[in-house]
Amino acid sequence: MPMNNSQVRVIDPILSNVVQGYRHVELVGHALFPRVPVQVSGGQVLEFDKKSFQLFNARRAPGANTKRIEFGHLGKPFALFQDALEGKVPFEFLRDASRVPGINLGTRAANGTMRALMLALENEQAGIARAAANYDADHKIDLAAAKWTDDANNPNSDLDTGKTAIADTTGMEPNVLVLSRAAFKAAKNNAKVVERFKYTSKESITAEMLASLFDLERVVVGKAISFDEAGASTSIWGTDAVLAYVPTTPSGQEEPSYGYTYTMEGHPIVEQAYQDRNAKSWIYPVTYERAPVLAGMTAGYLLQNVG
């Protein structure tokens, strides 16, 4: 019987553990799209509507049938994307080209490659979260004419509107706010926000302080910037903010959430290093098979052009 790709691939378990634990503080997409493992490369997204948050009457009379409930429903199809890049350690970094690079050089090569893969994932997650077409009219607002940079406008009031929209359609209070760099700057310098901290702190307003003010579990700031081949930069999270309900410790894709990142079980992986004599380098292949999905649109609220 011919072997499939997963059987042929030889994995480096040490460096695979390294990249699976890789984190970058400027990448925040996981706050909206936490990772959940899947064992197939395609299927249908388990989506959640109001019924997923419904209060059921579980009381049963003697001899009566027991009520049955179902969580979520099969929505749009998904297919995992396989991103793969290779890190390179030139022979010149070693005294002897026949030596395998030590764990430090291997870790640096794998982590550098993983950072590029994670930035690509962040860009996809932000693209889903910031797409106005993914929301109905009750779960988005364009503040281009009422930006938070104008002290006449009140971030807390705008977020309260979003909280109400999410709670009215899911029964859950949102607990996460992702602010772009521009949105964070606009929020923390808004006169109405500054006024609330005037007598309690002389320090610069932080994301943690905003979380307390806005009555949220987490406020995170998306600072990631991408560069094209011409060197032009783009702020991945633009000038927007996204309010959402996401389980604090998601236990699986059957749990209602704004979004998930379906990830092939065991990924990302680092294959065993090999020599490329032409490049005079050791090569570290890294593969990450995943797909961010919007699982519960009504558990999110998009605020565009706030900064």
Where residue 217 sits, what CATH number does that domain have? 3.90.1690.10
Per the domain annotation, does 65 fall within a domain? Answer: no
Residue numbers in the chain where pLDDT is lower than 70: 1-9, 18, 22-25, 44, 46-57, 68-76, 95-103, 202, 251-254
Look at residue 102 and tell me if it is in a domain. Answer: yes
Per-residue pLDDT reduced to its tens digit, 219-238: 999 999 988 888 889 999 99
| Residue 58: inside a domain | no
Does a structural domain hold residue 236?
yes
* pLDDT value for 2: 41
Residue-range definition of the domain harbouring residue 150: 8-52+74-304
| pLDDT tens, position by position, 177-216 | 999 999 999 999 999 999 999 877 767 899 999 999 999 9
- What is the total count of domains within the chain? 1
pLDDT of residue 3: 36
Let me know: does 158 contact 285? Beta carbons within 8 Å: no
Is position 34 within any domain?
yes
Residue 1 lies in a domain: no
pTM of the predicted structure, to 2 decimals:
0.82
Identify whether 252 is part of a domain: yes
Question: Does residue 143 form part of some domain?
Answer: yes
